[in-house]
Amino acid sequence: MEKYAHIEKEDPEVFGAIVGEEKRQAEGLELIPSENYVSSAVREAMASGLTNKYSEGYPGKRYYGGQEFTDSVENIARDRAKELFHAYAANVQPLGGANANIAAYMALCAPGDTILGMDLSHGGHLTHGHPVTYISKVFNFVRYSMKDVETGEIDYDALLETAKKERPKIILAGFSAYPRTLDWKRLSDIAREVDAYSVADVAHIAGLIAGGAATSPFDYGFDVMTTTTHKTLRGPRGGMILTNGGGDAERAADIAKKVDKAVFPGLQGGPHMHQIAAKAISFKEALQPSFKTYAKNIVENAAAMAEVFKASGARLLTGGTDNHLILADVWSSFGISGAEAETLLDNAGMTLNKNSIANDTRGPMDPSGIRFGTPAMTTRGFGTEASKEVASLMLNVLKNRDEASVAAARARVHELAAAHPIPESFV
């Protein structure tokens, strides 16, 4: 049967949008570090009959009947997640990373409690307590930041002093735009010193941790990890909460029980079982030996792109990257805003996002920086040389900013995309 035949027949408008988006993805390059491609198996699970089923509760403790297969799917997903991340427990029901973070806060804190997390302008995430979010009205968020934006060094001494003063219930580690490695041990030690829970939001680097290309907070005594299941993990869009209790089984069991209650009934109703099935499949894919090579290649490709930018004289926040993402100051480097750069590069077939940088003098909708990364490119088989070429194409567009440069880059991008088709299977 022709792909999307039923959609084409029933709703040509939606069909056109879907086909257009898939064409855009196939012919262009996705450089947004939080985006990736999933396997055909994951996509099939998302479109399966599991989408019809309500499964409020947890395996063996559901509120509706007819759960023998949904229980099986969720148990498979939980077991694979625990194996993948060496966790005591896994809750695979969160509908997204934001839901996972909020559920973790609800599990471990009472309204009004203090949470110490990374400042958004220094790489943190909206759900780490930015004032525009509703959750910031429920909990008292205080922030830590970088000591040196040129190297990315976190001011851990100031973080410790803040923790002693504020006595947070949670020390929250993790980021959405920070290209370096956090000192998990120092953060874990600080949490213990002030009797706080240690929670790591590893949404961006979960795949790197699973593939052994980044260290795991659990190796340094963290209590909880929250994550999305897409990004570097290359699964469906969704969230997950992993518990380890600092390696203490009794502490881990207590936290896991609190987490389960916070997710359901605390925050969500019926889980999306088609999504959980897709998560289970992606976890199996990530358990394959080939995933370690994939994770390693993501990091190598990002480092290669960063070196090309640095060689051109461009300013990179933190001076480079240890992971999958790069944050460039295009305003000081090229005299162009992040929003203008995003549009120019999008026109050239290279999709990334504008991004605020530390101490940014420009507004969030037209900031000084851009954020880009290598998870999706690496899925398509790009190596370091091809990644360097993409970086050079980006620089040529950013420097010249004329129609000829954009057109030339777009033509080459189409050639590179055709030579690196989106794969259908990773197993």
Mind telling me the catalytic residues?
54, 56, 201, 228, 231, 237
- Would you call 120 helix, strand, or coil by DSSP? helix
Greatest alpha-carbon pair distance for the chain in Å reads 64
Q: What pairs with residue 370 in β-bridges?
A: 328, 354
Sequence-distant (≥ 6) Cβ neighbours of residue 60 within 8 angstroms: 71
**Contact predicate 382/390, CB 8 Å:** yes
Please give the single-letter amino acid code of residue 241: I
Q: Where are the alpha helices (DSSP H) in 203-347?
A: 206-210, 249-261, 273-286, 289-311, 330-334, 338-347
Sequence-distant (≥ 6) Cβ neighbours of residue 80 within 8 angstroms: 280, 283, 284, 287
From the list 393, 309, 379, the residue with the least C-alpha distance to 350 is 393
Q: Which residue has the tokens 């970088």?
A: 146
Determine phi and psi for 327, rounding to 5 degrees.
-120, 115
- Exposed, middle or buried by CB within 10 Å (0-12, 13-18, 19+), for 388? middle
Instruction: Determine the Cα–Cα distance for residues 333 and 369; give it in Å rounded to an integer.
Output: 10
- Tell me the pairing of strands 239-243 and 89-91: antiparallel
Instruction: Determine the Cα–Cα distance for residues 395 and 328; give it in Å rounded to an integer.
Output: 11
Sequence-distant (≥ 6) Cβ neighbours of residue 283 within 8 angstroms: 77, 80, 81, 84, 235
Instruction: Determine the Cα–Cα distance for residues 65 and 57; give it in Å rounded to an integer.
Output: 11
